[in-house]
Amino acid sequence: MIWIRSLAFNIAFHLWTALMCFALLWMLLLPRPQMVAVVKWYLSTVGWLERTLVGIRYEVHGRENLPDGPFLLAAKHQSAWETMKLHLLVKDPAIILKRELMWIPIWGWYAAKAKMIPVDRGAGGAAIKSLIRNSRPVRDEGRPIVIFPQGTRVAPGTYRPYRIGVGMLYDSLKIPIVPMALNAGLYWPRHSFLKRPGTVVVEFLPPIPPGRPRAEAMRDLEERLEAASDRLVTAAGGPPTIRPPQAEPERNKQAATAVS
């Protein structure tokens, strides 16, 4: 039954998305806020497909922890599910994504119009400078900036070091970090055709205020975000994350930060 429902969802999702990509091209002529409103409508229809065809629902805890002004949303990245919910979870986010996604025909046009923040993962230190430079106007607009601290999708129960980009943004932008824990990978596994019914839980944790030493703030971010995500995963029957003893925030000093 899960296989049949997953097949139905995947067919419906891809056909609907392809249709909307072409049918909504007129949105590119709208002012950006109006275009984003239509994108939110499309994302809500995908949520309806999830609930109806594969039985995936979601609940959100901790909205009171979201600041009124700009902030960094440091989100766990376990699957494609959360990338399609960010505009429904927070107001008008700017998502940091790998530059190659902006080259996808039509989809990339929408991302550019929505003012996402591309980063070149292969550009070394120049990528960090570009990331900070492109993030400052977004901060000045009062929008939240979404970054996946581990740089890619990480399955529940798997450890991957946090990358330096989130720390550099925290230092440079002088805005709080809100950790976002979730367990979406249990129901929408990465690189998997199958989608499993259940309730995804998203939890916004209390913000890390600006002005703290970067290493201290990043250690706090990793410890709290990993602990909260593990709690949500294990409560739903998933595996806990086993961290290697030497694992520390910012231990991985790769110069570029990106998302998949």
Long-range contacts of 116-125 (CB under 8 A, 24+ apart): 117/145, 119/165, 119/256, 119/257, 119/258, 120/256, 121/151, 121/256, 121/258, 122/256, 123/256, 124/255, 124/256, 125/255
Tell me, yes or no, whether 246 lies in a domain.
no
CATH code at position 171: 3.40.50
**Residue at 220 is within a domain:** yes
Task: Give residue 76's domain range.
Answer: 56-235
Q: Is residue 92 part of a domain?
A: yes
Structural domain includes residue 82: yes
How many structural domains are present in the chain?
1
Q: Would residue 75 count as lying in a domain?
A: yes
Count of Cβ atoms closer than 10 Å to residue 188 Cβ = 23
Please report, in tens digits, the pLDDT of each residue of the chain (260 residues total).
899 999 999 999 999 999 999 999 999 999 999 999 999 999 999 999 999 999 999 999 999 999 999 999 999 999 999 999 999 999 999 999 988 888 888 889 999 999 999 987 666 678 888 899 999 999 999 999 999 999 899 999 999 999 989 999 999 999 999 999 999 999 999 888 999 999 999 999 999 999 999 999 999 999 999 999 999 999 999 999 887 776 554 444 444 333 33
**Could you tell me which of 159, 141, 142 has the C-alpha nearest to residue 150?**
159
Task: Mention every residue, 6+ apart, whose C-beta is less than 8 A from residue 122.
Answer: 256
Both tokens of 252, joined, read 């991985």
Residue 42 counted as domain residue: no
DSSP, collapsed to helix, strand or coil, labels residue 179 as strand
Residue 47 lies in a domain: no
